[in-house]
Structure 1
């Protein structure tokens, strides 16, 4: 497996990308779009390791730093304005690996949101969207999602020690009442970013897979405002936002290979 670093341009700025591939490789490739202000290597080099593993299985993998992040020039305008960066990365991927005819794009967190917003205009065959970001901004609210509060209280009720604490006065009843009220609160109607993501995904002609780590806060916020019956959703019982534990890492790898195909 070879790893090649290269440069390409996006609206006048020079961006840095990395291509991993075997000498003989499939005609389907994987584009990794980084979330947040994360470097193309990913948290604890997770994306670099994922790219190398996928490439060793015969699928070329391209990842990059968007404008203003990591090694790339330009102004960081956040995921909301990263459509041109994704388009430029796709063009650079095709130029560096011209035998690639089909590209699958993978993004976690706000990279998933960016792909949903921009996918209709991009030459992408399929999307893998992990723990999509649903907040109009870059900071998560302090309040825990109602679904997470419900899960927490259900887990407590299943624990005999917690039930005993409740029966013997070891629980703050005022705090409990506030928690139950929060858990019973109706889910807010989707608006703004979520509606744009829904519209973008509806206009995308390719296949889409949504991956959720069910105990991750960002995934829980997504579940609060998305159709729970969406058949594109697959879940793993994990709290790892970046799929960093071994079970989640293996699960993510298997899902990507499924979408990349034979």
Structure 2
């Protein structure tokens, strides 16, 4: 059964959805960016329904200022109270849950890494954690490097350049951004998130979308220090065929 819930957070009311199930391990899904709790193309709502059908209760919520929740949206770094309140409400609404696992994508993954211990999570599953402090409108340097290394091996790129159909201004901007890869990977946010992940030890699982710019930037910042599982997709939100691979990874980490 799917149940709608409202609960308090620092004087505001947060909206949540609980897909009920008898299992004692519960999954709390944190939405990334300004995304509402149903997820892109209702992906998180459908995922929650499938997981609950096989025994795992799933709780989703909108943080302050997003979706059906009141208040101001202060971004993921101000979402610790929201996360703590959501975890407490999940336990209240499903008192049989004895093990709490969190899942988030993009900056929601960073929220869980940073604040999940304060909220009492037993484990966190982090997809494409956000570790970049934006410099301009261009993608992260590591993602541009990945794109260029692929494009420069493609004869079509050279044909476009010789015919004048390659945007040289954008190409040069990309090259200049590549030179800043080290600067990006050493930014304070990356250091903070990577330190937080390390503190979880074996209770944090990282999942990366192979061709996603955010995932590529995380991999560049983390190096070999953070073990991760890679799903072969360019989709940041694991849509299409990647949805099944993500669900398999979640089920494995819930077991």
Q: Work out whether the TM-score is over 0.5.
A: yes
Secondary structure (helix, strand or coil) at the match of 1:203 reads helix
Matches within 5 A, 1:143-162: 143-162=138-157
Match of 1:242 among 234, 237, 255: 237
Query: Are the aligned partners of 1:67 and 1:74 in contact in 2 as well (CA < 8 Å)?
Result: yes
Matched, 1:55 2:52: yes
- Paired with 1:213 and 1:43, the residues of 2 have a C-alpha distance of 16
The count of aligned residue pairs is 253
Query: Are the aligned partners of 1:109 and 1:130 in contact in 2 as well (CA < 8 Å)?
Result: yes
Are the structure 2 counterparts of residues 154 and 130 from structure 1 closer, same or farther at C-alpha, using a change threshold of 3 Å? same
Bigger Rg, structure 1 or 2: 1
Structure 1: tracts of 5 or more residues without a match: none
Over the aligned positions, Cα root-mean-square deviation in angstroms equals 2.5
Which residue in the other structure is 1:67 paired with?
Answer: 64
Are the structure 2 counterparts of residues 184 and 81 from structure 1 closer, same or farther at C-alpha, using a change threshold of 3 Å? closer
Matches within 5 A, 1:1-262: 2-22=1-21, 25-136=22-133, 141-162=136-157, 180=175, 182-183=177-178, 186-188=181-183, 189-204=185-200, 207-226=203-222, 228-245=223-240, 247-261=241-255
Cα offset for 1:148? 2.8
- Paired with 1:177 and 1:83, the residues of 2 have a C-alpha distance of 40
Are the structure 2 counterparts of residues 56 and 150 from structure 1 closer, same or farther at C-alpha, using a change threshold of 3 Å? same
Query: Are the aligned partners of 1:120 and 1:205 in contact in 2 as well (CA < 8 Å)?
Result: no
What TM-score do the two structures reach when normalised by structure 1?
0.86
Structure 2: tracts of 5 or more residues without a match: none
What TM-score do the two structures reach when normalised by structure 2?
0.88
